[in-house]
Structure 1
Amino acid sequence: MAVILIPLDSSKSSEYCLEFYMQYLHREGNEVHTLYVADYFGDVGVLEGPSPGRIRQLEEEDRQKASAIEAAVVKIFQSHNVNGKFTRLSAKEAWHKIVQHAKAINATMIVMGSRGQGKLRRTVMGSVSESVLHHSDIPVVICKHPTEKHHH
């Protein structure tokens, strides 16, 4: 039995990735874990630090985003008759939390989208998928959404 970790965010790439896994890679008996990592820490002021009110606002926005993602995931699991698991965690470095979680659940493979949120943040922070690929001890499948353009 394989243990699959599929990290998700609210991008179309993520949803496509889960559907791609279900259609092409899933085998009966596989244990499927989806993971949403909140990394709103990166969106708040680095030097001054966020106010408690701002933190609560970001947490609430994130909870709503995570709930929407979980609802979409549950729908996909049901349509493929898969008993999967959804986990929501938070971290300053999403890639690090993904690699840690993969170890914690003894994942045998990570399947993830190539693009997440925000071009500027990706330029500054580096791509989450690239970092996971670089730091993971297990195979990582990167799903590229067919409508994504490759930019140099």
Structure 2
Amino acid sequence: YLENVYKPGDLVCLVHAAEYKVDIGLPGAAVDTDKLAQITKAMKEEVDRIENLCGNYTEALRQKGIKSVTHLVQGEKPGAAIIRKAEELGAAIIIMGSRGLGKLRRTLMGSVSEYVLHHAPPRVAVTILRDS
């Protein structure tokens, strides 16, 4: 991004979209409070991890003199959330990473980056982390 896309004065908007799928049993059935407490704790730990990760990126950008804001989006499909947020912010380009799912997993589960590539109105660049 810094070498190929960044222009002085750009605002980098970091968006992390998470869709949590939680199964607490049948509706109306007794809820296992221990299980619910474990789920709540795990979700809080995940949110804390994401906030720390975003904080690290924000600090790295700040050290390079780049203005940035962070948006954490929860409760909707990640691809749709990223596109919605990009539209709200008037993004000129979406730059995102790919988890590198294999073809079978990507076919069965879908790929957030693939969804965004095919549905986002602004330009999209997908980066793939290669082992060095």
Common topology (TM > 0.5) = yes
Partners of 2:25 and 2:79 in 1: how far apart? Answer: 23
- Per-residue deviation, 1:54: 4.5
Query: Which has the greater radius of gyration?
Result: 2
Partners of 2:106 and 2:20 in 1: how far apart? Answer: 14
C-alpha spacing 1:134/1:46, structure 2 compared with 1 (3 Å): farther
Residue among 100, 109, 114 paired with 1:125: 109
- Answer yes or no: is 1:62 the counterpart of 2:43: no
Identity, in percent, stands at 26
Q: Give the alignment's Cα RMSD to 1 decimal.
A: 2.8
Of structures 1 and 2, the one with the larger relative CO (CA 8 A, separation 6+) is 1
Is the 1:110–1:141 contact (alpha carbons within 8 Å) kept by the matching residues of 2? yes
Query: What letter matches 1:67 in structure 2?
Result: E
Partners of 1:64 and 1:132 in 2: how far apart? Answer: 26
Residue among 24, 38, 42 paired with 2:4: 24
Is the 1:129–1:142 contact (alpha carbons within 8 Å) kept by the matching residues of 2? yes
How do 1:42-61 residues align onto structure 2 when only pairs under 5 Å count?
44-45=22-23, 48=26, 52-61=36-45
TM-score (norm 1): 0.69
- Answer yes or no: is 1:94 the counterpart of 2:74: no
Partners of 1:47 and 1:127 in 2: how far apart? Answer: 28
- Answer yes or no: is 1:105 the counterpart of 2:85: no
- Per-residue deviation, 1:28: 0.4
Partners of 1:54 and 1:91 in 2: how far apart? Answer: 19
Question: Equivalent residue for 1:72?
Answer: 56
Is the 2:79–2:115 contact (alpha carbons within 8 Å) kept by the matching residues of 1? yes
Unaligned runs of 5+ in 1: 1-20
C-alpha spacing 1:72/1:121, structure 2 compared with 1 (3 Å): farther
Partners of 1:108 and 1:98 in 2: how far apart? Answer: 13
Is the 2:79–2:112 contact (alpha carbons within 8 Å) kept by the matching residues of 1? yes
